[in-house]
């Protein structure tokens, strides 16, 4: 018997005693947006190849999920076959709208592991139907889309999680503990850097037009792949992760790696939104795809008793930041996953961060990598006074599913991941326009550049996709 039918049947078993109505706890749990702790979460997965496929397997490996539906616009592609073979009985769809129409009653939660620009419509439809959502970082491609996603999550009281996995690993708990203990305080600057090769580094910045049309693969639903984005003819350089290179579809190195490098500082130093975004270096700037090297300075104001703070973002093979005295040896950290093209350059500088406070300097990596105090002599002097750091009770995927069941709270809900993602959208706008932007944190408007202010919303959605902006 289907679980939902069972629940509806069980409702007839309600009894009355002493004037009180007694309702089974399983029904109460569903009514208040939680899956009963004894149940698995009925999970639909949107995007089941590449990164989306890895998310699907990771959620399943927790033991808390019951996979009920797969959705992918290229269901016949080679990259989807691993999960289709591993889970042959799961229902399959090309279009997420059809999936919700046909199986909405059987779905508790949804994972979204699709290209950056397509996170928004899938997530909005899911939340509008009361489904909990796990969304890969960054949450969306435009500032306004992220704003709408945060609002929708609040209105529909759903569990949300952005997929920056370090928020459930050692870096998260150490950073929080060190801030609470006053080890990390009075931070005035941070350098965040990712200097490995990117997919577009061999392209010609003098490009004068979009790639030429190619035949659409027989297995692919290209129209649905485009979703809300303006029309582009199919080309292989938009597919299989190549979408990350283009302003129209992706968020570049900043949106890809910033969520794994800047995340804990952004949350625990209460940074919110910047008041100035200044791209001081954009090598190979062009209107189509991301620069070869970028330096962007984000300025944040004083917050309570915390001083004003700058974050300097640096990417590019030849844009490696200066490191302070006592930094130590830079080696490849095995705990940091390689970039999506699989190429991590050895021996230059790990993806990571350098945090400068008035009294201490910290060296950190990416994802779950922990901080160290530099130079080493200072770290040794402080070793005995450092607080004990708690261990994580669950990884990022289990944390989401346990939150769906009411047993935990997510560590990167949209209220946390949303403002961080908006920082990236502002940085990408500055890259795209090659312009310094002044941002009003109260009105959430760009005050010195009318075009940039219009682009906070982005281009109008394609005809037929307007509804997702009104859910």
Q: Which domains does the chain have, with CATH numbers?
A: 30-166 (3.40.50.720), 168-391+415-469 (3.30.360.10)
How high is the pLDDT of residue 411?
A: 98
Can you tell me the mean pLDDT for 210-229?
97
Percent of the chain at pLDDT exceeding 90: 86
**Bridge-partner residues for 194, per DSSP?**
315
Distances (CA, A) of 74 to 71, 78, 134, 150, 224: 9, 9, 21, 29, 10
Can you tell me the mean pLDDT for 320-340?
75
Can you tell me the mean pLDDT for 182-191?
98
DSSP 8-state symbol, 165: G
Residue among 186, 183, 154, 48 nearest 111 (CA) = 48
Report the distance separating Cα 48 and Cα 54, nearest Å: 8
pLDDT(329) > 90: no
pLDDT(82) > 50: yes
pLDDT(24) > 60: no
Q: What is the pLDDT of residues 373-428, one digit of tens each?
A: 999 999 999 999 999 999 999 999 999 999 999 999 999 999 999 999 999 999 99
Whole-prediction pTM value? 0.90
Phi, psi of 175 (to 5 degrees): -60, -45
pLDDT(17) > 90: no
How high is the pLDDT of residue 328?
A: 84
**Which three-class secondary structure state does DSSP give residue 313?**
strand
How high is the pLDDT of residue 15?
A: 35
Percent of the chain at pLDDT exceeding 70: 88
Judge whether 106 and 39 are in contact, CB under 8 Å.
no
Rg of the chain over all Cα atoms, to the nearest angstrom: 23
Query: What's the token pair of residue 76?
Result: 């016949």
Judge whether 262 and 311 are in contact, CB under 8 Å.
yes
Q: What is the pLDDT of residues 233-252, one digit of tens each?
A: 999 999 999 999 999 999 99
Q: What is the pLDDT of residues 283-295, one digit of tens each?
A: 999 999 999 999 9
Band the pLDDT of 129: cuts 50, 70, 90: very high
Cβ neighbours, 10 Å, residue 363: 23
């Amino acid at each position: 018997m289907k679980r939902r039918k069972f629940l509806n049947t069980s409702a007839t078993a309600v009894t009355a005693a002493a004037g009180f109505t007694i309702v089974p706890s399983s029904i109460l749990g569903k009514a208040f947006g939680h899956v009963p702790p004894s149940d698995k979460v009925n999970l639909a997965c949107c995007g089941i190849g590449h990164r989306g496929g890895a998310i699907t397997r990771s959620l399943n490996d927790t033991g808390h999920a019951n996979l009920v539906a797969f959705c992918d616009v290229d269901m016949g592609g080679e990259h989807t076959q691993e999960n289709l073979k591993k889970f042959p009985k799961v229902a399959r769809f090309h279009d997420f709208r059809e999936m919700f129409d046909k199986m909405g009653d059987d779905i508790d939660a949804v994972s979204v592991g699709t290209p950056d620009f397509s996170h928004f419509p899938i997530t909005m439809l899911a939340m509008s139907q009361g489904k909990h959502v796990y969304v890969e970082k960054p949450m969306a491609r435009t500032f306004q889309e992220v704003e709408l996603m945060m609002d929708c999550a609040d209105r529909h009281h759903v569990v949300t999680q952005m997929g920056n996995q370090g928020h459930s690993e050692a870096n998260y708990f150490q950073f929080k503990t060190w801030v609470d203990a006053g080890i990390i305080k009075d931070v005035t600057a941070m350098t965040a850097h990712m200097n490995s090769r990117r997919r577009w580094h061999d392209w010609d910045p003098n490009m004068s037009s979009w790639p030429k049309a190619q035949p659409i693969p027989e297995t692919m639903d290209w129209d649905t792949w485009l979703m809300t984005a303006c029309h582009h003819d199919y080309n292989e350089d938009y597919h299989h992760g190549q979408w990350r290179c283009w302003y129209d579809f992706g968020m570049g190195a900043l949106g890809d790696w910033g969520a794994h490098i800047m995340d804990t500082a952004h949350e625990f130093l209460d940074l919110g939104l910047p008041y100035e975004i200044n791209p001081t270096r954009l090598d190979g700037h062009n209107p189509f795809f991301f620069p070869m090297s970028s330096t962007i300075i984000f300025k944040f104001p004083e917050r309570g008793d915390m001083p004003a703070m700058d974050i300097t973002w640096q990417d590019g093979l030849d844009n490696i930041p200066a490191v302070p005295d006592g930094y130590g040896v830079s080696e490849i950290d095995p705990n940091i996953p390689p970039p999506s093209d699989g190429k991590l350059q050895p021996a230059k500088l790990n993806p990571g961060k350098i945090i400068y406070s008035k009294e201490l300097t910290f060296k950190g990596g990416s994802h779950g990598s922990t901080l160290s105090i530099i130079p080493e002599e200072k770290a040794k002097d402080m070793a005995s006074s450092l607080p004990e750091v708690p261990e994580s009770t669950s990884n990022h995927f289990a944390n989401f599913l346990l939150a769906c069941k009411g047993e935990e709270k997510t560590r990167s809900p949209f209220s946390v991941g949303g403002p961080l993602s908006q920082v990236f959208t502002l940085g990408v706008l500055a890259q795209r326009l090659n312009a310094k932007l002044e941002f009003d944190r109260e009105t959430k408007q760009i005050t010195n550049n009318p075009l940039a202010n219009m682009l906070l919303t982005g281009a109008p959605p394609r005809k037929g996709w307007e509804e997702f902006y009104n859910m």
